[in-house]
Amino acid sequence: MDVFRVSSTEAQSVIDLVSEAFLGDPTWSWAFPDPAARRQWWTFCVIEALRYPWTFRTEGFETTSVWIPPSCAEFSDDGVESIPGKLTDLVGRRAPEVAELLHRFEQAHPNTEPHYYLSLLGTCARDRGRGLGMALLTENLARIDAEHMPAYLESSNPSNNHRYESVGFAPVGSFQAPRDGPVVTGMWRKGR
């Protein structure tokens, strides 16, 4: 499988793919019930992540992975400052509980040692079940293993946990969205 680094000129294709891939995700559907609002959130996340050269895709944009390198912030300072207003625009009165969910993501994220953070991994609906997402993840992990670095991710859909475990990630805790919302599992993979 050919893997390519995503350039900033390909941002829209990544946004399209992530928006489709996470359409039925339990956690992100809870946070942003309106698919248009969810797409705006993914637009923000992808644009912020493309500051780093660690977003990858398959040749036909069937799947993409969005990584944050070690000791780098997921969001720029300006991005962080924009989040409260962005949440109000996207979810209105629910902004405080979505902000609380984002805070729980941040609190669960281990900060004990530098690591790669898999922010997003998504596959187009038409290409699911072909192993492309896991193949891309495996290729990315080989790059990370070459640096002997650990990796972290949050599984926002429990049905994916076993896939991540199959490539060496292990659960390191979980948290729940407010109001008995979905459970998110933090997963760690030791450096190799």
Rounded distance between C-alpha atoms, residue 96 and residue 120, angstroms: 23
pLDDT over 90 at 31, yes or no: yes
Rounded distance between C-alpha atoms, residue 155 and residue 102, angstroms: 14
CB 177 within 8 A of CB 184: yes
Question: pTM here?
Answer: 0.95
Rounded distance between C-alpha atoms, residue 175 and residue 107, angstroms: 10
Share of the chain above pLDDT 90, in %: 95
Within 8 A by CB and 6+ apart from 25, the residues are 156, 157
Question: 105 is written with which tokens?
Answer: 């993501």
CATH number, domain with residue 144? 3.40.630.30
**If DSSP states are collapsed to H, E and C, what string results for 60-100?**
CCCEEEEEECCCCCCCCHHHHHHHHHHHHHHHHHHHHHHHH
DSSP 8-state code for residue 125: G
pLDDT at position 134, please?
A: 96
Give residue-wise pLDDT tens across range 161-176: 999 999 999 999 999 9
CB 69 within 8 A of CB 118: no
Give residue-wise pLDDT tens across range 113-158: 999 999 999 999 898 989 999 999 999 999 999 999 999 999 999 9
Length of the chain equals 192
Question: 141 is written with which tokens?
Answer: 């992990």
Distance of CA 161 to the CA centre of its chain: 14
Domain span holding position 33:
3-189
3-state secondary structure of 169: coil
Look at the chain and report how many structural domains it folds into.
1
CB 135 within 8 A of CB 121: no
pLDDT class of 1 with cuts at 50, 70, 90: confident
CB 3 within 8 A of CB 56: yes
